[in-house]
């Protein structure tokens, strides 16, 4: 890839200030901002991988200013141990010892479910085809089954954390990302009271909302159920309004939204309910309104007896002990009925169906690694293919400056009558890399397109 004339040369003092690790990349721009840092798009420069896109996460420093945060360290430890088709791959790690900032480079994924769902809802006004829904779900479960089999709970699954590969050899393959808050858990489960609650409110399992002291892998299955419903309807299933002043993790509105759709939980259906701290403490508030007629099937518009509805209701089972596991879900009838799931989720489900072209991830071309904004560059400096993509190579600066960046706007601006703008995204990080033997590794080899 030709380097634009205004790019930093090796003699430039700012260029020399770049750590060796960062010199392997040409920064394209900023693609996102999460709770713990910024995400950039860059291109690899090594001869064998020249031009290959990569997502670089720069972590904010911890508030205490005492170097790389424990969250980041935890993420890396997890990342290094995870290798799976459906888990985003960590390709490089760097700590800048000058300011103790941390950079992680991941394989770049052009799409995520947040944007795919939004495209169907706002641009196409048409549902995602059944084959795509099934293939996405199967791969999410496959990645999750791998994590759960290795005692890792994700805890922050939501559409923006489910990445999908764009054009290329892995097109349409799902990659679970953002394991910032995932932890290796070992039986017996550790108490979590010191951690606070971490799952974004819309995808948060009822036992967490009611103060359960332990996470189990069932919290991820609840989130997958919510994502499954959202894939079917293009709208978040339970859009509770977060009470930021409330007694976290107790979120009455979120619980109310769940109860309204699934009916009020009962001790018959969920015996350990009575032991949950906020159930007892807020009896009057919670039970003020009793919902008895679950309306899930009318919301997702699936026949109550269909395999899709059966699987969904098993994911949204109140009692975490009875909730379906990822391994069981992969074995469900839904995945054995036509259309069968495939490795490339983004191809049409049947001949004659139109291919959907999802838009490329929006990139803020003007923001640099340190968060500063570069003056607009003339396109005449760019190689033809860069001009076509509208890309500007960024100068990579010295890295000692604080980050003061506005988040990239990902909330829908209009056209959203039924879609509350409350905290849709939820934010956190991801992980991966290592090479261990995994007993439950399940390659995508079961269906017709694998
Ligand atoms: N490997 C990747 N390839 C492409 N885009 C990515 C990659 N990893 C993350 N992103 C995108 O970058 C954006 C920010 O990601 P990040 O994980 O930092 O935050 P988040 O998931 O939006 O929120 P939070 O970190 O608070 O959970 C998201 O849009 C996400 O889809």
Q: What is the ipTM of this complex?
A: 0.96
67: exposed, middle or buried (C-beta count within 10 Å: 0-12, 13-18, 19+)?
middle
Q: Cα-flanking dihedrals φ and ψ of residue 360, to 5°?
A: -65, 155
Q: What is the pLDDT of residues 152-197, one digit of tens each?
A: 888 889 999 999 999 999 999 999 997 655 543 333 333 344 334 3
- How many angstroms is it from 342 CA to the middle of ligand 1? 25
- Mean local confidence (pLDDT), 364-381: 59
For residue 403, the 8-state DSSP code is P
For ligand 1, say whether the CB of 161 is within 6 Å of any of its atoms: yes
Which helix (H) or strand (E) element contains residue 434? none
Of 12-26, 285-299, 304-318, give the lowest mean pLDDT range: 12-26
**Cβ(240)–Cβ(256) below 8 Å:** yes
Q: What is the pLDDT of residues 7-36, one digit of tens each?
A: 444 555 544 556 677 778 899 999 988 766
Could you tell me whether strands 111-112 and 101-107 are parallel, antiparallel, or unpaired per DSSP bridges?
unpaired
Residue nearest ligand 1's atom 30 by CA: 160
Q: Which residues contact 65 (CB under 8 A, 6 or more apart)?
A: none
For ligand 1, say whether the CB of 75 is within 6 Å of any of its atoms: no
**Beta-bridge partner residues of 58:** 38, 103
Confidence of residue 370 (pLDDT cuts 50, 70, 90): low
* Residues comprising the chain, all counted: 450
316: exposed, middle or buried (C-beta count within 10 Å: 0-12, 13-18, 19+)?
buried
- How many angstroms is it from 78 CA to the middle of ligand 1? 17
Q: Per the residue annotation, which of 107, 112, 156, 370 is the catalytic one? A: 156
**Beta-bridge partner residues of 95:** 102
HEC string of 240-301 equals CCCCCCCCCCCCHHHHHHHHHHHCCCCCCCCHHHHHCHHHHHCHHHHHCCCCCCCCHHHHHC
- Say if residue 305 carries a ligand binding annotation: no
Could you tell me whether strands 90-96 and 111-112 are parallel, antiparallel, or unpaired per DSSP bridges?
unpaired
């Amino acid at each position: 890839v030709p380097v634009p004339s205004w790019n930093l040369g090796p003699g430039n003092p700012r260029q020399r200030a770049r750590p060796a690790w960062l010199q392997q990349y040409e920064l394209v721009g900023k693609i996102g901002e999460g709770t713990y840092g910024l995400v950039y798009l860059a291109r690899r420069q090594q001869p064998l991988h020249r031009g290959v896109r990569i997502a670089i996460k720069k972590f904010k420093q911890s508030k205490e200013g005492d170097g790389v945060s424990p969250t980041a360290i935890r993420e890396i430890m997890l990342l290094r141990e995870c290798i799976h088709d459906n888990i985003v791959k960590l390709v490089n790690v760097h700590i800048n010892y000058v300011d103790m900032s941390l950079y992680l480079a991941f394989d770049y994924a052009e799409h995520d479910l947040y944007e795919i769902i939004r495209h169907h809802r706002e641009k196409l006004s048409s549902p995602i085809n059944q084959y795509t829904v099934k293939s996405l779900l199967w791969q999410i479960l496959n990645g999750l089954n791998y994590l759960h089999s290795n005692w890792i709970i994700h805890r922050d699954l939501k559409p923006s954390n489910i990445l999908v590969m764009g054009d290329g050899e892995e097109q349409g393959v799902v990659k679970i990302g953002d394991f910032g808050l995932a932890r290796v858990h070992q039986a017996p489960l550790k108490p979590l009271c010191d951690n606070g609650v971490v799952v974004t409110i819309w995808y948060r399992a009822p036992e967490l909302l009611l103060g359960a002291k332990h996470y189990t892998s069932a919290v991820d299955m609840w989130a997958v159920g919510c994502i499954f419903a959202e894939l079917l309807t293009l709208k978040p299933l339970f859009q509770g309004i977060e009470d930021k002043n409330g007694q976290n993790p107790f979120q009455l509105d979120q619980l109310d939204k769940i109860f309204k759709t699934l009916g009020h939980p009962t001790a018959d259906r969920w015996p350990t309910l009575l032991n949950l701290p906020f159930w007892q403490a807020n009896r009057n508030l919670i039970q003020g309104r009793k919902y008895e007629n679950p309306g899930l099937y009318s919301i997702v518009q699936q026949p109550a007896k269909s395999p899709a509805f059966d699987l969904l209701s098993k994911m949204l089972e109140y009692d975490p002990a009875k909730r379906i596991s990822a391994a069981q879900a992969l074995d469900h009838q839904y995945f054995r009925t036509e259309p069968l799931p495939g490795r490339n989720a983004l191809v049409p489900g049947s001949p004659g169906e139109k291919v959907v072209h999802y838009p490329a991830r929006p990139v803020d071309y003007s923001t640099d690694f340190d968060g500063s904004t570069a003056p607009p560059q003339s396109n005449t400096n760019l190689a033809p293919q860069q001009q076509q993509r509208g890309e500007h190579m960024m100068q990579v600066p010295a890295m000692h400056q604080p980050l003061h960046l506005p988040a990239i706007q990902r909330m829908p601006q209009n056209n959203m009558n039924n879609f509350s703008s409350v905290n849709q995204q939820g934010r956190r990080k991801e992980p991966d890399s290592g090479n261990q033997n995994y007993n439950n590794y399940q390659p995508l080899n079961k269906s017709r397109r694998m």
